[in-house]
Amino acid sequence: MSEEKRKKIGNISILAVLFLIIAMSWVKHFVYEATTPYGTLLTGAALGIAFLCYVDLKKAFRDPFFYLMILADILTLINLFVIHSDKGALLTVVDLLLVMYLAGKMTINRKQMLMVCVVELFFFFYWTVTPKGYYQGFNINYGGLVLLTGLMFGMLLIEKIKQEKKWNYMWIVQCILMLIGFKIISYYLSRCALIGAAVFTILILIPKKFWIKIAGKVFFCIMSIGLTIGTIPFSVFLVWLGTMREQIDTKILYKSILSGREEVWAELWGVFLKSPITGIGSSYKLHVVDLEGTFEVHSGLLDILFVHGPVVFAIVICFLLILLFKLRESMAEDEVSKYAGAAVFSMLATSFFENYFIVPPFLILFLLLFAIVNMRDQAHRIDCNISEKQL
């Protein structure tokens, strides 16, 4: 089988599972509750197929990052027996590492990109016209994540059309969509999604040529490190802020800036520091009021650190930072890539407050943002090869 056909099969597996999970998760809440435990398993199956389609195993055995991925998976597997983590925790790490390993290799074609963007934009309006949230059983923050994702892919769609058709007036449509996005996310009272939308807006407004300059390179480096490793000092700061709860009365969207995450993180940091090597596992049950008996970290990368320990966390950060640093050049040369890169950073910023990018279907969409950037890189390589042949 040709390489092109294998990659096509890999893409079809990813898109088929993405649309299946979206159908199960974003239409009816009772369907979401019944099927959400199978999301990581379905995602893992699709990513496994894509891995076999995109990766030459002979080359993989000479790739140090392949062995890093395997090491993290083995450590996570050991945790199942040492600290009695749930089986789903293993799949979370395996899926996340497969996504990051494929993120530099996977590409999608124009039709596939447009299809994903159209579906995402459809659900943005679906959740806008028929608000879910508490009204239909969904958590308001989850609703905010659905809306934010749909908004960003919708903006990507419009930008793609604007660049291809040279319809410069499409910026008006983008402004209208952004205004609707901020309005409906505010209506859901989803502050984490609102922060993500703000990050996305700021980054798409920065001229792409800025990333070439020294100041742009420095800013990009700080942003990449801040939105990954920065999750640790941020959580510690919020825990410290929680000790002054009685003196703080600042509210955003009718809710205190201390929304309860500081209590969760304070408890989890206390437990984690007693088992700093292995992590605490996913079977731990919180004692925080209103969340007693459950386990929810409310932070994507902190979830990896607390549940799986510092070694797995360090490997994930290593993969992420390498991927992020590669984005700068693409964002500096292409508007569509800039929008996709802005969406990646927006998802990371939002994940300071929710698991978001590490869980399905958002994890697959996180991968597809890198695949969209790779479209531009692949087209550039093809153009260079054609030029060389003509010479």
Residue 142 in tokens = 């989850």
List the Cα angle 195/138/198 in 5-degree steps.
10
Q: Give residue limits of the domains in the chain.
A: 3-208+337-390
According to the model, what pLDDT value does residue 143 have?
94
Residue 55, by phi and psi: left (phi above 0), alpha (psi -120 to 50) or beta?
beta
Q: Stretch 361-367: mean pLDDT, rounded? A: 98
Buried b (16+ CB within 10 A) or exposed e, 264-282: bbbbbbeebeeeeebbbbb
Task: Average the pLDDT over each of 87-101, 127-141, 225-239 and give the range with the smallest value.
Answer: 127-141
Residue 386 in tokens = 């054609």
Question: Is 248 a residue whose pLDDT tops 80?
Answer: no
What distance in Å separates the CA atoms of residue 27 and residue 30, rounded to the nearest whole number? Answer: 9
According to the model, what pLDDT value does residue 345 have?
98
Residue 92 in tokens = 């979370």
> What type of residue sits at position 65?
F
Its pTM stands at 0.94
Q: Are 131 and 188 in contact (CB under 8 A)?
A: yes
Question: Is 232 a residue whose pLDDT tops 70?
Answer: yes
Residue 12 in tokens = 């079809």
According to the model, what pLDDT value does residue 290 have?
79
Question: Is 147 a residue whose pLDDT tops 80?
Answer: yes
Task: Average the pLDDT over each of 80-89, 179-188, 291-300 and give the range with the smallest value.
Answer: 80-89
Q: Are 237 and 372 in contact (CB under 8 A)?
A: no
> What type of residue sits at position 129?
V
% of the chain at pLDDT higher than 90 = 75
Phi, psi of 84 (to 5 degrees): 60, 45
Q: Are 47 and 14 in contact (CB under 8 A)?
A: yes
Phi, psi of 255 (to 5 degrees): -125, 150
CB neighbour list of residue 348: distance below 8 Å, 6 or more residues apart: 227, 228, 300, 357
Q: Stretch 40-69: mean pLDDT, rounded? A: 94
What distance in Å separates the CA atoms of residue 118 and residue 154, rounded to the nearest whole number? Answer: 7
According to the model, what pLDDT value does residue 273 have?
94
pLDDT tens digits for range 251-303: 665 566 667 788 999 999 999 999 899 999 998 999 887 788 889 899 999 99
Q: Which of 151, 144, 150 is nearest to 179 (CA)?
A: 151
Model confidence at 108, pLDDT cuts 50, 70, 90, reads very high
Question: Is 383 a residue whose pLDDT tops 50?
Answer: no
Q: Are 366 and 99 in contact (CB under 8 A)?
A: yes
According to the model, what pLDDT value does residue 80 have?
85
